[in-house]
Amino acid sequence: MIRCISLFLILFPLLAFSQNETDLYRYSRTTYGGSARFESMAGSFGALGADMSCSQTNPAGMGRFSSSKAEMTFFGARVHNQSNFNQTVTSSGIFTGGLSNIGIVITTDASIKPGGILYQQLGLGMNRIESFRNTFNYQGAQFESLLDGFADQAEGIEPASLNDYFPFSTFVAYQTYALDYYAPTQSYYSLLNSGDVYHDRTVETYGGQNELFISYSINYLNRVYVGSSIGFRYHRYEEAISHKETLTDTSNTPLRSFEYNYDLNTSGWGTNLKVGAIYLVNESVRTGFAFHSPTFGELTDSWSANMTSHFQDSTVYLPSHLVPTGNYRYRIRNPIRLIGSLAYVFSTRGCINIDLEYIDYRMAHFRSTKDKTYLPYSYSAENDYAKTVFRPALNVRLGGEYIVASILYLRGGIAYYPKAFKEEIDIENSGDFLVTTGAGIKTKRFYVDLALKFRSSSKNYNAFYGSEARINSFTQHVFLSGGITL
């Protein structure tokens, strides 16, 4: 029940501060992304390196470059969702695409200087580490209605004060006459009857997380590689919820249906530091280790709600001057990450790498903004609650590369990102599972890589208390990279 109440507050904020554990989860859980070669091996490069996207996992991998390079990657994706709501199955999906990676690494030969440093590298670029583009829809009939929650939460509050306490929920329902007020008991009741209502909800999300990076690395005697990277992470998240309920039995009530809309827009920047090292035990066995600091960011949320009620002989819209809006700025801290890697190189025939990444989601944290434009807020309740629902996780990435011919490479990988929420919270039915494959052609002057990535997950979506849908997601990605040796 605690889970359902919390998620009700997520979608229909009762106060000016709507941030919660879902926001912490969204900006802390990243499966990485970048070049086609990186994607084709499931991002498993911790002890291998020599790829531009290594800056986001183990920046020591940039030390494996012995020449300067520049590259660019584009991606396309198809997201397919299947929802199950009270035994009614609905399918939906969307196509998306864009820039996945762009960067340059400038390598200088330092072998003429004493000290054992053979090469040093300066890297600049961008990696798209997570995409939020998605859409899903569920439909089906049930007795519980969104209006029931709106009515219950405002008990004891007079209509004149609704805009102060519940502007994004009870207020808009009352203003469009889907709720009525009974003064003797100071309670609200909906214009629904005792029959079921048919639900039709669509959720569309946009945006993603892109990370600009500046990295520096060195190659020490072709045995030890050390690197660091400063990341500037841009967050953008947009969510548009359209919820419609239609009465299946219209006896004894003039109400026929209503539509509720809720929009959330979030944007902001964060910074982090990554340091790492790779050690070659011998020509075949290689080890890697990386530490990621928390990403310290500041985000701004803006949200609004609207509602329309359809009656037997009229339609009531919410007047534009009554449409509620809100915004708030806050700081967020994502957890640290520790990555251990082991790779084996099969002479000139290929390689295999495994990454184990530890992340404790309980370390995710909110803080009030320093911007004096906004009222301070402690977030103690939100942070304490997040600690009770999150848990540590060990992400696993396994990838390999096989050299078919001198210029032709085949690649593949798998990755698993376990649940971030505790089992009893029952939000995630499964973690995120990734299967990847790809191929590349590499010459002395240029290279071209192609990758395919398949990602699946299953989650429970709670629109409000008493309303739950199971969402199974499957995403197909294609990546195309091109690069040159400078």
The answer to the question of residue 214 being in a domain is yes
The answer to the question of residue 440 being in a domain is no
> What is the enclosing helix (H) or strand (E) of 468?
strand 467-485
Question: How confident is the prediction along the chain (486 residues), in pLDDT tens digits per residue?
Answer: 333 333 333 334 333 346 889 999 999 998 888 999 999 999 999 999 999 999 999 999 999 999 999 999 999 999 999 999 999 999 999 999 999 999 999 999 999 888 899 999 999 999 999 999 999 999 999 999 999 999 999 999 999 999 999 999 999 999 999 999 999 999 999 999 989 999 999 999 999 999 999 999 999 999 999 999 999 999 999 999 999 999 999 999 999 999 999 999 999 999 999 999 999 999 999 999 999 999 999 999 999 999 999 999 999 999 999 999 999 999 999 999 999 999 999 988 999 999 999 999 999 999 999 999 999 999 999 999 999 999 999 999 999 999 998 899 999 999 999 999 998 887 888 899 999 999 999 999 999 999 999 999 999 999 988 899 999 999 999 999 999 999
Query: Nearest to residue 10, comparing CAs of 386, 473, 467, 462?
Result: 462
The answer to the question of residue 219 being in a domain is yes
The answer to the question of residue 261 being in a domain is yes
Cα dihedral across residues 225, 485, 43, 238: positive or negative = positive
The answer to the question of residue 238 being in a domain is yes
Q: How much is the pLDDT for 119?
A: 96
> What is the enclosing helix (H) or strand (E) of 38?
helix 36-40
Contact 241, 261 (CB under 8 A): yes
Number of domains in the chain: 1
CA distance linking residue 333 with residue 442, whole number of Å: 40
Contact 201, 330 (CB under 8 A): no
The answer to the question of residue 480 being in a domain is yes
Instruction: List residues bridging with 135 in a β-sheet.
Output: 204
The answer to the question of residue 175 being in a domain is no
Query: How many Cα neighbours within 13 Å face the side chain of 216?
Result: 2
Q: Please give the C-alpha separations between residue 121 and each of 108, 116, 125, 230, 353, in angstroms, as whole numbers.
A: 6, 15, 13, 14, 23
SS3 254: coil
The answer to the question of residue 181 being in a domain is no
Amino acid letter, 245: E
SS3 63: helix
Structural domain containing residue 78 = 2-145+192-434+446-485
DSSP string, 295-311: -EEEEEEEEEEEEEEEE
Q: Show the 3-state SS of 203-229.
A: EEEEEEEEEEEEEEEEEECCCEEEEEE
Instruction: List residues bridging with 276 in a β-sheet.
Output: 227, 290
Query: How many Cα neighbours within 13 Å face the side chain of 471?
Result: 25
**How many residues does the structure list for the chain?**
486
SS3 content of the chain, % helix, strand, coil (to 5): 15, 55, 25
Burial of 451 (0-12, 13-18, 19+ CB in 10 A): buried
Contact 108, 117 (CB under 8 A): no
Q: Are strands 432-442 and 197-220 parallel, antiparallel or unpaired?
A: unpaired
- 40 alpha-carbon distance from chain centroid: 20
Query: Nearest to residue 416, comparing CAs of 402, 401, 436?
Result: 436
SS3 422: coil
Q: How much is the pLDDT for 7?
A: 38
Q: Which token pair is 298? A: 């500041």
CA distance linking residue 359 with residue 391, whole number of Å: 9
Q: What is the CATH number of the domain that holds 378?
A: 2.40.160.60
The whole-model pTM stands at: 0.91
